[in-house]
Amino acid sequence: MSKEHAKHNEKACDHLLGKPNEEGLTFHDWVVTTAFYSAMHYVQHEIFPLEIGGAVYNSFNEYYHRHFKGSEKPSKHTATAELVRLNIYNAYASYKALVDSCHTARYTDYQTSAAVAEAARRRLDQIKKFLKK
């Protein structure tokens, strides 16, 4: 995943935040979603390449497909969250909160409040503070 993709999603997040359409509708669910996907791309860029036990993984997809086998493998989002916990621990709480709020906005209730959207954007900024690349 590229840092450019993270920045693109972050710009989409900022564009959507607090900008109702011509009918007065807001898209807070998409603010949360774009904040999460921006964070996902940022942390994957930060973590990879990754060495584990002498094996080098150049990308998240390479890691996921080589590291996990069979029916017991976690979802890609769960695997990424675990990598954040192990490699960027200080960002984990904010990242996990974004995972959860995005899942809610996408699959449970798209009618996300402005407060939740603004919190998602703040969490993205909090995560970025712990990145070095």
Is residue 1 very low, low, confident or very high in pLDDT (cuts 50, 70, 90)?
low
Q: CB 4: neighbour CB atoms within 10 A?
A: 10
* Number of independent structural domains in the chain: 1
> How far lies 77's CA from each of 15, 16, 33, 43, 84, in Å?
25, 23, 13, 12, 11
Its pTM stands at: 0.93
Query: How far apart (Å, rounded) are the C-alpha atoms in residues 113 and 70?
Result: 39
Q: Would you say residue 98 lies in a domain? A: yes
Domain that holds residue 115: 3-128
* CATH for 110: 1.20.120
What is the tens place of the pLDDT at every residue in 92-110?
999 999 999 999 998 888 8
Whether the predicted pLDDT of 43 surpasses 70: yes
Q: Would you say residue 133 lies in a domain? A: no
CB 17 within 8 A of CB 115: no
